[in-house]
């Protein structure tokens, strides 16, 4: 059985199909691959800062908490796994990405907290890298005007140079983690291609 909260099914579900059942262990994967409403926190042109729990911003802090809380009783019984899809933006700031980056940083800390408070459950915050998804198209074509020139150039260049990851690359790693994440990973913020996850990266 698996609990899912995703809006980037292409990354996860195609790969996860091949790992759907594994020894009765429960998994919970939370991911959100959308920038939501972009606005500087304290730009003079902004009438008010759009915090991550602002009603106009779909990137909320309460959503993963409530979903995980509902799943925890079953996850405890099965020594289950929680995977939180984070982002490099959780540790690297980008202009106008404040709400998105803050919400991802919360996931990193949530993973660390759950590792302490729920030792029977393995919780990992995973960084999938810069993936060729709808979010990247929105960055280049929709949100670019609110971003700095340097950041616009970075993401445009990644697409032009063919440097974006294919969804199945981090997707396969995340799918394998969903059924085999080891206890020593719990509480960590790991990139999909981290050396520690080498055993999960075959064919990725």
Q: Is 174 helix (H, G, I), strand (E, B) or coil?
A: helix
For the sheet with 81-85, list strands across it.
2-5, 27-30, 81-85, 122-127, 189-191
DSSP H or E segment with residue 26: none
Catalytic residue among 39, 86, 103, 125: 86
60 close to 5: Cβ distance less than 8 angstroms: no
Q: Is 160 helix (H, G, I), strand (E, B) or coil?
A: helix
Residue showing tokens 């997707």: 171
Catalytic residue among 15, 94, 104, 125: 104
Catalytic residue among 100, 103, 125, 186: 100
- Is 94 a known active-site residue? no
Assigned token pair, 81 = 């796994």
63 close to 5: Cβ distance less than 8 angstroms: yes
Cα diameter, the chain: 55
- Is 100 a known active-site residue? yes
CA distances from 49 to 46, 93, 107, 124, 170 (A): 7, 16, 21, 30, 33
> Exposed, middle or buried: residue 128 (CB in 10 Å: 0-12, 13-18, 19+)?
buried
- Is 90 a known active-site residue? no
Catalogue the active-site residues. Answer: 86, 100, 104
């Amino acid at each position: 059985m698996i609990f899912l909260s995703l809006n980037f099914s292409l990354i996860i579900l195609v790969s996860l199909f091949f790992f759907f059942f594994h020894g009765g262990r429960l998994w919970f994967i939370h991911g959100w691959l959308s920038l939501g409403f972009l606005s500087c926190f304290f730009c003079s042109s902004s009438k008010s800062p759009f915090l991550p729990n602002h009603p106009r911003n779909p990137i909320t802090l309460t959503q993963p908490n409530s979903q995980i809380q509902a799943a925890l009783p079953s996850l405890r019984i099965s020594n289950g796994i929680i995977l939180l899809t984070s982002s490099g933006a959780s540790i690297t700031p980008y202009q106008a990405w404040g709400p998105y980056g803050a919400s991802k940083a919360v996931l990193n800390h949530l993973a660390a907290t759950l590792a302490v408070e729920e030792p029977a459950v393995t919780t990992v915050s995973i960084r999938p890298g810069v993936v060729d998804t709808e979010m990247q198209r929105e960055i280049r074509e929709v949100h670019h005007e609110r971003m700095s020139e340097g950041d616009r150039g970075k993401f445009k260049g990644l697409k032009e140079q063919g440097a974006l990851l294919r969804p199945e690359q981090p997707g396969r790693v995340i799918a394998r983690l969903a059924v085999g994440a080891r206890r020593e990973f719990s509480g960590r913020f790991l990139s999909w291609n981290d050396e520690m996850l080498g055993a999960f990266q075959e064919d990725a």
